[in-house]
Structure 1
Amino acid sequence: MAVGLRTHVLHLSRSGVELVMAVFSPLVYATLAVYLFRAGDHPDRLLQAAVGAGLMGVWSAVLFGAGGAIQEQRWMGTLETLVSAPTRFSLVLMPITFATSLVGLYSLVATVVWGVVVFDVPFAPASPWLLAPAMLVCVVALGMMGILMAATFVLLRNANALANALDYPVWMFSGVLVSTASLPQWTRPITWVLPTSWAARAVQAATGGGEVLRPSLVALGLGAGYVGLALIALVWVERRARSAGTLTLT
């Protein structure tokens, strides 16, 4: 796991697309969020806006990083080798998804620093001693969720198409930047089953006040559930991909 994590972090650091997504996109999100919250007369929530923009960046990094990694393996012709290797394919996917979430952690740090330095956002988290653990929980929970996403991407020849479709809805339903109270009632069950929503609650509670421990535990529990679903799905996905011949581009 440690070797795979280091390898994929180094690989992501040399990808131009991933660097743009990880380095610049969160700063754009943070800038827009700060201006929107200021225009909406919510100056007391500017720090939460910066954190929310960072969470958006973490999710985008996990989603596009996992999809991009699977797609690159398919383009290079190594996906078949990874699937047929004696090592379980789930153990191959884990360092990929956790590497993307670790790179996405930069988004959280960068957006907060960007807001404090550029927009004079006061850095006064309600629970400063819980902010770092909550951010770590967020990274772990999203990494575990990314395993299920990556398992789905194995079946699709154009994984990035699914990543594009899932980017906006997930962070919207998770209440990362916009409160879920403003969403329709039918979205509540979706919110409850997303680890991203509970991880976002934990981080936002650490910055703006509220309970941090309970949403953190729920996020980790749901993330573990997603890992279990991924292990089950991978068995079916591998068989389906073999029979349909979708592991390669030819």
Structure 2
Amino acid sequence: MLLLGTLLQVKQQSRSPLEITISLLVPLVQATLAVYLFRAGTNPPALLLAAVGAGMMGVWSSVLFGSGAAIQNQRFQGTLEILMITPMRPVFKILPITLATGLVGLYSVLATLLWGVLLLGVPPSFAAPLWFVLAAPVCVLALGAFGLLLASTFVLLRNANAIVNPLGYPVWLLSGMLVPVTALPGWTGPIAAALPTTWGARALRAAVTGGPVWPALAVCVGEALIALALGTLALHFVERRARVTATLALT
């Protein structure tokens, strides 16, 4: 059921102009800007890190905006009420949406790498290429699980953009996707440590530059499982709350 729901959502998102723009064009622009900004340095891995970081930014954008847009589309089409009253747990209704946004976002990582290597001359010097191949899809699925926690608010609120828009850039910065977390103020450390995006980006950076990948990857998966559990509980509460307040429909 989860597999079929995820495949259906991937097909729907592949026909959405918003998703096509976010997943196809935005990561390439971000990768180009990041590579040219980092090209001023003399460290070749920094260019590859810029491409990888831009790819992770694309994954987060896909999960964040894609989940909000998918639920908003359900509300606009009048099918969100039908979806939420079907006799199954709420997590099985919403999780395919967030997993699909993560899978669509996986393109961002692949596209930015190919764009950087083939067109921008970024040397593909991976310290641990096998770890990178393993870590990339794991991070994408972890972000999809994290998106489930956010999706609970999208179900409750009629305007998902009120949550989506303010979360894009702050998470990019706090997760260290382009700027190292150590360069940020000290008070941001606990916030960054609580985000699976931080550990996913750290795992991919370790696969590029060298160093242990599995500790950061394990923390990323652990935090994603916690977010999955919290999202399951939140959806159960939100579903009941939305029925009581009648906020599933537009009017």
TM (norm. structure 1) is: 0.97
Read off the aligned partner of 1:52 and give its amino acid letter. G
Matches within 5 A, 1:38-117: 38-117=39-118
Instruction: Tell me which residue corresponds to 1:2.
Output: 3
Matches within 5 A, 1:49-198: 49-198=50-199
Deviations 1:127-161 (A, max 9, x none): 01111111011111101101111111101111023
Read off the aligned partner of 2:250 and give its amino acid letter. L
Looking at structure 2, the residues matched to 72 and 243 of structure 1 have their Cα atoms a distance apart, in angstroms, of 21
Read off the aligned partner of 1:163 and give its amino acid letter. V
8 Å contact kept, 2:90–2:236: no
Looking at structure 1, the residues matched to 16 and 90 of structure 2 have their Cα atoms a distance apart, in angstroms, of 23
Read off the aligned partner of 2:107 and give its amino acid letter. Y
CA-based RMSD of the aligned residues comes to 1.0
Percent identical: 54
Deviations 1:43-91 (A, max 9, x none): 4410010000000000000001100111000001111111111011210
The CA deviation at 1:38 is 1.3
Instruction: Tell me which residue corresponds to 1:203.
Output: 204
8 Å contact kept, 1:37–1:43: no
The CA deviation at 1:32 is 0.6
User: For the structure 1 residues 43 and 129, does the alpha-carbon distance in structure 2 shift closer, same or farther, using more than 3 Å as the test?
Assistant: closer
8 Å contact kept, 2:45–2:209: no
Deviations 1:141-186 (A, max 9, x none): 1011011111111011110231111111112111111100111111
Deviations 1:215-243 (A, max 9, x none): 11110000000011111111221122122
SS of residue matched to 2:39: helix
Q: Which runs of 5+ in 2 are unaligned?
A: none
The CA deviation at 1:40 is 4.6
8 Å contact kept, 2:196–2:220: yes
Q: Which runs of 5+ in 1 are unaligned?
A: none
8 Å contact kept, 1:205–1:211: yes
The CA deviation at 1:113 is 0.4
Looking at structure 2, the residues matched to 213 and 245 of structure 1 have their Cα atoms a distance apart, in angstroms, of 45
SS of residue matched to 1:196: helix
Deviations 1:72-125 (A, max 9, x none): 000011111111110112101111111100000000000000000111100010
Looking at structure 2, the residues matched to 99 and 57 of structure 1 have their Cα atoms a distance apart, in angstroms, of 14
Q: How many residues align?
A: 250
8 Å contact kept, 1:30–1:54: yes
8 Å contact kept, 2:90–2:232: no
Deviations 1:9-51 (A, max 9, x none): 1111111111011000000010010011113554441001000
Looking at structure 2, the residues matched to 93 and 61 of structure 1 have their Cα atoms a distance apart, in angstroms, of 15
Read off the aligned partner of 1:149 and give its amino acid letter. L
Looking at structure 2, the residues matched to 136 and 83 of structure 1 have their Cα atoms a distance apart, in angstroms, of 29
Looking at structure 2, the residues matched to 130 and 42 of structure 1 have their Cα atoms a distance apart, in angstroms, of 21
